[in-house]
Structure formats: C-alpha cells, structure tokens
Amino acid sequence: MAERFEQALLAQLVTPHLPVDPDRLRFEPIATGKHNTSYYVQGAGDELVLRISPPDDAGFLFYERRMMAQEPQIHELLRAETTVPVAEILAYDDSRRLLDRDYLLMERLPGQPLIEAGLVGAELEGVLEQVGVYLAQMHALVADRYGYLGPHRPMEPQAAWVEAFAVMWNKLLDDVVACGGYTQEEADALRRLWDVYRPHFERRVPASLLHMDVWSQNILVDDTGRVTGLVDLDRALWGDPEIEYAVLDYCGISEPAFWRGYGRVRDTSFPAQIRARFYMLYELQKYIVIRLWRRNDPAEALEYKRQSFALARPLVQALG
C-alpha cells in the first residue's frame, strides 16, 4: 500500500524551495508510482510534482539506495544536450531536516502515461518511433567510466564495460541471496556461468547514458500522440546500449517502429544473443528482490526465479 503524508508536512517540504504561501498548496497523490511516493502540487503557480523516496529500510537493490540523488544532474544534462522531454528539477533535498527521506520537486510535464492513453495502430507506432529518436539521443551521450556513476555511488566506476557488468552481476546476485531468493550455491552457479561467457562481453563499447526503465508507465503522451515526457531516470547507468535493449524487450517497447526512430540495426550475432540473455537475466532477477523485500510476495518471487532459471538453462546446456 502506498504511503500517505499529511498535507501540512508536504507543504513544509515545498516552502523552503519556493516563495509560496503554504496555506495555498494542495497535494494530490499520484497513484501510478511504484517506488517513490509522488504528489501533484497545486497552488505554487505552474503545477509541480513532489517525489519522496522510500524509507532507508525499505529493502533495496544495490543500485536503488538513494538513487534519486543522480536525477538532477541527468535531467540537467539531457535538457542541455538533447531534445529528450524531461522535467526541470527545481529542488533536490537530502538534508533529512524535515523528513527521513530524500525528495525532489520538479515541473509537471503535460500528457498522461502511455499505458492510460489507449493508443493503438499507427498512433502507437508513432509514439514508439519518437521514443526511439529520444533514446538514440540519450545513448549518444557518453562518459569516460562505466556503471552506476551517480552521487549515490552504489559501485566503483570501471574503466571497461565488461568490468562494470561483472560488478553489477555479482552485486545483484548478492542481493538475491540476501533476500532469500537464491541459495548461495544457486548464486555461485550463476557467477560461474558469467565467468564462462565473459569473453563475449570483452569488446569496445561506449559508456552511453541509459535510461533503464522505459516502459508504458514512464512514457508521457498528449492527445495527439506526441511524446511529452520520459520520466523516472533514477535507475540510469552508463554502459552498453544492449542492456537497455533487454529492458525494452521485456517491456514491449522494442517494436519495428522503435527501431525506425532509433536509427540503428540491432546486432543479432551469436555473441550479441549471449549478451542479450545475460542482460535479460539482469532485468528479471531484480524482481525476485523487489517481490520479497518490498512486496512480501514469495509466490511471485518464485515465479521470477523459475523464469530466470529457464532463461539460464540454454546457456548451461550449451556447455555440454
């Protein structure tokens, strides 16, 4: 069940950052948020969004702890260097002075989530094509290190993608063991599997800026089918664009229309197929942790475990 905060407290969070009368502020819960607790803010001029992070003991994947901290820099970069529609962040507060959480205040973008828009056919294809254009712009932004590079510092930045993904793979498996999703022996088997297939990842690849959470809830569209926002960039990382493709595959975004907008031909070679399977495993296994630690849903976690093992099985069988 989503958290709820008193209106008076919410006003106290906003007024240090904006010259507004707290008595005029009104807060409407945003029901679609799955990680943060979010509100539409009215009475401060233009309508805004207030997002409050979960409590520190909510049960996080290694890269989720205080991941909100990286959003201001990423939004600023995208607004300066691309046409990707992301909100201006007006304030980010990690002082914990009024609340034992981080929170941020941003402009509200127009439109509604794609999942609610009911678009089909050519209109939906048009949206996916626009998303492809925007992700191509995002992926063109590159860093000189790989991994989760934000100020939340969930890992040491690496000089090569293969090293960054090795760290990410092992940290994720640590989390799945810690939540009770895998035994240590099961996790170690997956670590050994990565070691065997690691050579397929040893190639030069740009440290591209990756969104890592593009799905129909995080794509905003207006009544004409124009994409008005890509939201929730807190899971962003810098690395191989192919790992983003796995998220797009999982979320049903990587349709032909998307690739038209993206403007690149996807690598379908044998090594790319191996990488895609590991990247999909990285995406799937996170839900084991989320279902156990945050949703208290062991049955659903077990289903994700089964799916993960089924995905890994051909990799094992290919070894003879």
- 2 lies in a domain? no
What pLDDT sits at residue 201? Answer: 98
Residue after which a domain boundary falls, among 50, 77, 108: 108
* 67 and 136 assigned to the same domain: no
What pLDDT sits at residue 104? Answer: 97
Q: Which residue has the tokens 């009104």?
A: 26
3-class DSSP string for 215-250: CCCCEEECCCCCEEEECCCCCCEEECHHHHHHHHHH
DSSP result, 78-131: HHHH-----PPEEEEE---SSSSS-EEEEEPPSSEEHHHH---HHHHHHHHHHH
* 83 and 154 assigned to the same domain: no
What pLDDT sits at residue 107? Answer: 97
Residue after which a domain boundary falls, among 45, 76, 108: 108
Residue after which a domain boundary falls, among 51, 80, 108: 108
Q: Crossing angle of helices 184-197/161-178, nearest 10°?
A: 170
* 142 and 279 assigned to the same domain: yes
* 207 and 98 assigned to the same domain: no
Tell me how many domains the chain contains: 2
* 164 and 295 assigned to the same domain: yes
Query: By residue range, what is the domain housing residue 50?
Result: 7-108
Instruction: Specify the pTM.
Output: 0.95
* 306 and 167 assigned to the same domain: yes
Give pLDDT < 70 ranges for the chain: 1-2
Q: What single DSSP character describes residue 320?
A: -
The Cβ-side half-sphere exposure at 134, using a 13 Å CA radius, reads 23
CATH number of the structural domain spanning residue 73: 3.30.200.20
What pLDDT sits at residue 161? Answer: 98
Q: Which residue has the tokens 């407290």?
A: 9
* 121 and 215 assigned to the same domain: yes
- 1 lies in a domain? no
